[in-house]
Chain A
Amino acid sequence: MMRMTGARALLTCLEREGVEVIFGYPGGVLLPIYDVLYDSKKIRHVLTRHEQGAAHAADGYARATGKVGVCMATSGPGACNLVTGLATAGMDSQPVVAITGQVATHQIGTDAFQEADTTGITMPIVKHSYLLKDPKEVPDAVRDSFLIASTGRRGVVLIDIPVDVSRSEFDYEPVERKASLQGYKPTTRGHARQIREASRHILSSSRPVIYAGGGVIASDASQELRKLAKMLDIPVTTTLMAKGVFPETHRLSLGMLGMHGTSYANYAMMESDLVVAIGARFDDRITGHLDTFASKAKVIHIDIDPAEIGKNVKVDIPVVGDAKTVLRELIKELEKRAREAPPKDLKQWHRTINRWKKEYPLFIPDDGLCPQFVIDMVYRKTKGKAVIVTEVGQNQMWAAQFYKASIPRNFISSGGLGTMGFGLPAAIGAKIGRPHEVVIDIAGDGSIQMTSQELATAVIEKVPVKVFVLNNGYLGMVRQWQELFYGKRYSHTCLHCDVSPDFVKLAEAYGALGLRVTKPQEVDSVIDRALEYDGPVLVDFRVEPEENVFPMVAPGSSLDDMIGGKK
């Protein structure tokens, strides 16, 4: 037992959870916590330049490492600034713990200075939250928050701490490691009968497809997934969130599916007789029109969240459980059965798929400095091994299409919320989590301007991230929709980035290296220069302004109804 303040207890508990870094921004009600942090030997604090940056950085750290990311903000405006970042993490089921300061307990509800109802504002976007009333609650709340954030379907937990709770002393006693949360028992083991059913269907299918999602990354089940696919020669398509769980260079890979997925992945889904969904949530970006989606297929859905099963698409064989645990059982069952009766011959299916691959490949247009070419060059220069973080829009889709990923947690993107401004701070978080790897933010000229102040964080904290801006001078993704669906009426989507800002000078103003590419011939050497430079770099790629992302499934269309799928 030790006498200490709530603030000290908080830090002690965070250290016990193994926290090595907090992304945060101080303020009045956080003073007691920042005062303790000043002496911490174990925890690094990274001062971002905006609380949104802190939340994205914690999220990027979590995505890159699999560990819980931690961010912190003061009451009122600070907490409000965190919200976008927390919603982004939550929509993509990322483990983040947010700590917010709050006005003193006796002031709550009085519209006190910088008071905001943080637990109320964030209630719909968090997995759980706490508003502490007494320093005694700190140890349990911290332990339970980390447990809730990092288990089951991962998510965001917020701890709101009034300043008097931080300030006052109590008798601290370390809590038991094991939490006793009565109402929280995620199912991890799949039901044996369902697994048998699943294996029976897999072995009797003649056109199976594995549709893998972010849950495979969350459960660290990439090895199991690869084993399953290779064992039975089943083609694999991944969502944006799952890029890297299966090597996109492998012959069984169909790449990404969905609105901007490959034609062959989408055709395969639509022609399949068995879709094996693993840790994927049938988002509208991948199903297209729901009534026609994979209508010839039976659906096996392996997911840790029972609420995802049957939410959008009718499921024939649901298996609730952790992907890794379930896949291991499933593989065992399949091995057993395959010994008794050989699996179906899939040659015909592969022939069909290979024909689609030949007929509808992703292709790089050969006019001018096109963004696809830039991404392809980045891919080749980094040998497919870099950690790629993206912003949102066309840049994100080109990165997804042309950077062939083969390592889990190496492709980091805001999928569910699609938050512009995510990329740079998330890249900083990722680089801090994995300092020995090359981390590149593929950015758009619009997105980068939402959080470009974090260049200061990268410079001051010595986090050598590389920002590659695909500068098309437009809110390109929106412009593309205007071009295709609104008669080319480019209402308020031109950013005039050839006029302002000057990205090279912007980089230099922050003390980063700024480079510019205007011709295809320069791409090669400038990427080299950027990768060699020992510090943060921003490269302004002046790409073709009106290039489009194809193929594209128009919203509400059937998944096999694609625009621009053919060269």
Chain B
Amino acid sequence: MKHTLSILVENKPGVLARVAGLFARRGFNIESLAVGITDDPSISRITSVVDVEEHSLEQIYKQLNKLINVLKVVDLPEDTSVQRELVLAKVSADPKARAEIIEIVDIFRGKIVDVGKETITIEITGASSKLCAFENLLRSYGVVDLVRSGMIALSRG
């Protein structure tokens, strides 16, 4: 099952390596990982999506907590948290297809952030399911390049 972990860490050199190393060493699969500082510049937040069984999740949680630089680990369930990911997609868009693509972007509340001779670049945010649906639709036009930021999340309320 997929879980979104929010890991608060001290903003010190090598911390990301420690966290990533732990995942690798214990054989936990990371689906995505996003890192950035919080409102307090001495603290960073690592948001990671992992696909594991309940038993492994407990181990990840406990093993992460053993790292000296890790301050707090929480599992953010989908229904009680806001989860967002950003996608930038460069799509081939000949003049014929352009209008259609723009319409799709509108429906998904995306944004066009760059237009080239043969491509347009789209920015869209949302939860995974929305982004997957969007990606599938774009595929028929030809995706030249695509990048996902990795999920970030905060608990609700």
B21 contact from A123, A181, A183, Cβ within 8 A: A123
> Which residue of the partner chain, among B55, B58, B68, contacts A127 with CB atoms under 8 Å?
B68
Known interface pairs A124-B25, A306-B62; A119-B68 also in contact (CB < 8 Å): no
Q: Check if B59 sits within 8 Å of A307, measured CB to CB.
A: yes
CB < 8 Å: which of B10, B14, B21, B62 contacts A124? B21
Assess whether A306 is in contact with B65, with CB atoms less than 8 Å apart.
yes
Collect the chain B residues with CB atoms within 8 Å of residue A306's CB: 62, 65
Which chain B residues lie closer than 8 Å to A305 at the CB level?
66
Of the listed residues B17, B18, B25, the one surrounded by the most CB atoms of chain A closer than 10 A to its CB is B18
B13 CB contact (under 8 Å) in A131, A148, A153, A310 = A131
Give chain A's interface residues, CB within 8 Å of chain B: 119-120, 123-124, 127-128, 131, 148, 153, 181-184, 305-307, 310-311
Report B's interface with A, CB cutoff 8 A: 9-10, 13-14, 17-18, 21, 25, 55, 58-59, 62-63, 65-71
Is the beta-carbon distance between B62 and A307 smaller than 8 angstroms? Answer: yes
> What's the Cα separation between A311 and B58 when bound, in Å?
9
Are A148 and B66 in touch, CB under 8 angstroms?
no
A119 to B67, CA, bound (A): 14
Residues of B within 8 A of A181 (CB): 68
A120 engages B10 (CB within 8 Å): no
Contact partners of B10 in chain A: CB under 8 A: 182-183
Residues of chain B within 8 A of A183, CB atoms compared? 9-10, 67-71
Q: Which residues of A contact B25 (CB under 8 A)?
A: 124
* 12 pairs, CB–CB < 8 Å, chain A vs chain B: A119-B14, A123-B14, A123-B18, A123-B21, A124-B25, A128-B68, A182-B10, A183-B9, A184-B68, A306-B65, A307-B65, A310-B55
Give A120 to B63 CA distance when docked, in angstroms. Answer: 18
Shortest CB distance B87–A (Å) = 32
B68 lies within 8 A of A120 (CB):
no
Q: Which residue of B lies closest to A128 (CB)?
A: B68
Q: How far is the CA of A153 from the CA of B66 in the complex (A)?
A: 10
Query: Which of B14, B55, B62, B69 contacts A131, CB < 8 Å?
Result: B14
Which B residues are CB-close (under 8 A) to A311? Answer: 59
CB distance from B19 to the nearest CB of A (A): 11
A314 to chain B, nearest CB (A): 10
Contact A182 B71 (CB under 8 A): yes
Q: Which 3 pairs, one residue from A and one from B, show the smallest C-beta to C-beta distance?
A: A307-B62, A128-B68, A183-B71
Q: In the complex, A153 Cα to B62 Cα: how many Å?
A: 13
List of A residues within 8 angstroms of B63 by Cβ: 307
Complex CA gap A184/B69 in Å reads 8
Complex formed: what's the CA distance from A514 to B64 in Å?
50
- A183 to chain B: closest residue by CB: B71
| Contact residues in A for B68 (Cβ distance below 8 Å) | 127-128, 148, 181, 183-184
For the complex, give the distance between the alpha carbons of A13 and B71 in Å. 27
Give the shortest distance, in Å, between A321 (CB) and chain B (any CB). Answer: 15
Residues of B within 8 A of A131 (CB): 13-14
Residues of A within 8 A of B13 (CB): 131
